[in-house]
Amino acid sequence: MKIVPSLFVTAFMLLSINTISAQYGNSGYGGGGYGRNGYGSGRMNSGMDQNRTPDKPREVPVEETVGKIMERLKPALVLDELQEIAIANILTESIKQQGVILKQDTNQSDQMKDIQILSENTERKVVELLNDDQKEKYKVFKEESKNPKKSKRNR
């Protein structure tokens, strides 16, 4: 009669081992197992992944943009320090205004008109700060900016 209880105990042990291996092994709670890497994986971690928002493109600070423009503009026009500061301030304000215009809830053609007006005003303010020689160099600089030279690659 001892065979029947020991059969029940053996069956219980086998079923328990199967359940445990399903939870912590290859087939339960995601393919990597529940406790293998300490962080959980598979289904346990997927809920956290869904809450993450996709990365937005990094916005370039206005000062960095103005700095890059001034790096090209200063040697091209031979600006003195006062002109450099004044033009940098004008460009900073202009770029900030462009950001405001683009965030408005208006249609695209109105935004383009506003940006065109802003661009003309900015250019007028910059030209007011330049002497005659610099004005000529500025015209050349603007043309080169619109039509950059394509470099030929050696293949």
pLDDT above 60 (res 153):
no
Amino acid, res. 90:
I
Listing DSSP states for 62-120 in one string gives HHHHHHHHHHHHHHHHT--HHHHHHHHHHHHHHHHHHHHHHHSSS-HHHHHHHHHHHHH
Among candidate residues 50, 86, 54, the one with its CA nearest the CA of residue 70: 86
pLDDT above 60 (res 138):
yes
pTM reported for the whole predicted model? 0.59
Residues 30-46: tens digit of each pLDDT: 555 455 555 554 555 55
User: CA torsion 57→62→63→65, rounded to 10°?
Assistant: 70
